[in-house]
Chains A and B, each alone.
Chain A
Amino acid sequence: MSQTPIEQPTTPPAIEIVDVHKRFGALHVLRGLTLQVKKGEVYGLLGQNGAGKSTLTHLLLGFLQPDSGRIAVMGSAPRAATKIGYLPERVRYHASFTAREYMRSLGAFSGLREPHLSVRVDELLDQVGLWMAGNRRLGRFSKGMLQRLGLAQAIIHSPELLLIDEPSSGLDLAGQRDMVELLADLRAQGLAILMCSHQVAELETLCDRVGVLRQGRIVAEARVQDVLATTGVLITVAEPLPPLAISELSVLSRSIDINEQTVVVTHDERLQRQVFYKLLGYGARIVGVRPAGGLTEFFMRATRGPEQDQPVRSTAAKKPYSENIA
């Protein structure tokens, strides 16, 4: 995973959300949401349907107003911030235009002028692999082509922040891979990205940090490299481990996560061998070994647990992700 240097907090963050509440009638969608995304950072937002991801995106774009709390985008109020790009979840476009006409129009709405506009449109169509289809009407585009065009329109005005809602939604595997590659290119260019997605692999590949949105607030947040550092194997034993075995295993490494009948070990092969020897030494009957951890488990734990009053934020490395979950 390539790491883009993240700017120090001397400049305003790309996104700053402090204690934001948003209601739609009786429905309290966001309940004291606090979130910060630094410039140049890629932040992945995980959440079940209805968790408030789209509401958050629309607040950042200024389509909606928060009931209370503060939102700043690139240091300004959302509607004053012009350097934002947006790729909505369900890509629906004006079908009677060709891709080239459409991109030129959207570029003009962002204030781009000729001849730079045409050059930029062709450059982007080429970048997303649609140059040849540039004169085809959007009504004849496939879902994957529309999604790639969606990304091109989102960055036509060279934004500093990109908001993306489910970029791979409805795409086949090849389309998903193309989308990840395109987003990785943007990441390398230093764009700040807030990405709402259900695709864990996508988030693992692209994001610097991830947060889990549940019942209108961030209930867990972690650096992706910390979460991935805890991936490894889950060993299940037939009977509960004796307390002495648990304490001996615990001292092997802080990254071992032990319960009575399960042990999660990171992908450190030497450590895994040591754990197996210890377990066998105590006569434990191993009944299962499977890959464990990663963002899926991070998300599942965060969404399974009871709602907490205060979310825990952690950037501490080498800490089991379970400790980062509020």
Chain B
Amino acid sequence: MSEWLYRFRKFTGFTVREYVRSGRIVIEILAMLAALWLLFWPRSSRPISSEQFFGLGGLVFLGISAYTTLIVMRMGYRPQNYVVLFRSLGRAGYLAGLYTATVLLVGMIYLLLSVLVAILHSNSLPFSFGGWLLGSLPLLLNVMIVAAFMTLTAPLVVSGRLRLVLLALVLLALSQDRDVLGDVVGGALGPIQTILGLPLMPVLGGFNLAVQHSLSLAALGIMLAQVVLAGLLLAVALLAFERRELILQS
């Protein structure tokens, strides 16, 4: 296990370094600066609220997380990775490394945003360091869930057909308007939609928790559900990747 962890850690570091050195990180930095300017810049005498920071910040970072995962997975799909994949790192170490690198990159950008917001609002910061931690943890767990889902649906991991099925299930889970489908179809889809919507509960719960940034037993339960959901999505992605026929694309 320690051997595997060593190789995994090295590959994660390698991916993060490549992402930063190749300049891809600039997009995330620009997005973060844009969010800082548009959402958190001190424009009036009214101080920033914690709802504003964790609520809007949470949404922005879900988007950044989806984008970064997309790009990291695309990096992992290039033919230069044949010389990485045949090594004893293995497919599990490879995919887990790409995923962890994504989460680390988004985490770093989030940390940078937090520091900049803290500097800009140093006189009127609405939360302590502990409050920031309590708000950030569920927010970052949501980042992990989004990254795991994007990993699962990446072309590196699943074929085009399976990806379409997964995306259709997500659309079904998210769709609100069943009336257009008629009584019979809409009624039949209801229970399915409810089941498919279950994984969204930890995400939404985590979002609320980030805004409230309070510690309670329920909060711990929500965070545990977030961890389980991210872990499940990643486990399915690893399983799919183990069975995937690899023809890396240029």
Contact = CB atoms under 8 A, between A and B. Distances in A.
Interface string A39-82: 00000000000000000001001111100000000000001001
B232 interface: no
A92 B78 contact: yes
B242 to A, nearest CB: 9
A147 B160 CA distance: 34
A61 B87 CA distance: 9
B6 A108 contact: yes
A82 B247 CA distance: 20
Contacts of B250: 92
Given A86-B83, A96-B21, A111 B78 contact: no
Contact of A94 (B18, B85, B86, B89): B18
A105 B87 contact: no
B187 interface: no
A208 B218 CA distance: 70
Size bracket of the B interface: 20 to 34
Contact of A106 (B6, B87, B91): B87
Contacts of A214: none
Contacts of A62: 86
B246 interface: yes
B88 A94 contact: no
Contact of A109 (B22, B79, B84, B91): B84
B178 interface: no
A84 B86 contact: yes
Interface of A: 58, 61-65, 79, 82, 84, 86, 88, 90, 92-97, 105-106, 108-111, 113, 150, 153-154, 157
25 contacts: A58-B246, A58-B247, A61-B86, A62-B86, A63-B82, A63-B85, A63-B247, A64-B247, A65-B245, A82-B87, A82-B88, A88-B79, A93-B80, A96-B21, A97-B21, A105-B14, A106-B83, A106-B84, A108-B6, A108-B10, A109-B14, A109-B84, A110-B7, A111-B7, A157-B88
